[in-house]
Structure 1
Amino acid sequence: MAKARTDKPRKPNIFMRIGLYIKQTFNELRKVVTPTGKELFSWSFAVFVFVLVLMALVTAMDFGLGKLVLLVFG
């Protein structure tokens, strides 16, 4: 009776895996589209406004919770 082979498939060596990773990275970078100046400005402005809104929210929560703690614990 013949014995079945249960050998796992061998992984390529570390240098081949690194090379494959670099090749795939460059292939993905070729797909990247550079935004126009107008798009860059509009997205930057949107991010700036979003950060300002979050800062205002956190500041209001900090102020409100601080007042609440002073009210409760005197």
Structure 2
Amino acid sequence: MTDASTTAAQRGASAGTPARRGLVARLVLFIRQVIDELRKVVRPTRQELLNYTAVVVVFICLVMGFVVGLDQVFERLVSFVLGE
């Protein structure tokens, strides 16, 4: 009868899953895991950073040019339709 009367928490703890922890313990565990993950971050070299920056600036300029072109087309289309 003792096997049938064990609670789910006791079965979970015996199966290798930890019992529910308190708020502070979970917060400390979360912070430790964040710090561990931040240690795995590989920072780019100076040359990689310059390359990535150049790619972003070029892409933004292309998108900006596309939007300006669309603006010009729509402006002329509206002027033609409204006869201004």
Given the alignment of the two structures, is residue 28 of structure 1 paired with residue 61 of structure 2, yes or no?
no
Work out which structure has the larger RCO, using CA pairs closer than 8 Å and 6 or more positions apart in sequence. 2
Partner Cα distance (2:81, 2:61) in 1: 30
**Structure 1 gaps, min length 5:** none
- In percent, how many aligned pairs have the same letter? 35
Q: Which residue of 1 aligns with 2:46?
A: 37
Look at both structures and tell me which one has the larger radius of gyration over its CA atoms.
2
Given the alignment of the two structures, is residue 67 of structure 1 paired with residue 67 of structure 2, yes or no?
no
Q: Which residue of 2 aligns with 1:52?
A: 61
Q: TM-score, normalized by length of structure 2?
A: 0.69
**Structure 2 gaps, min length 5:** 13-18
RMSD: 2.4
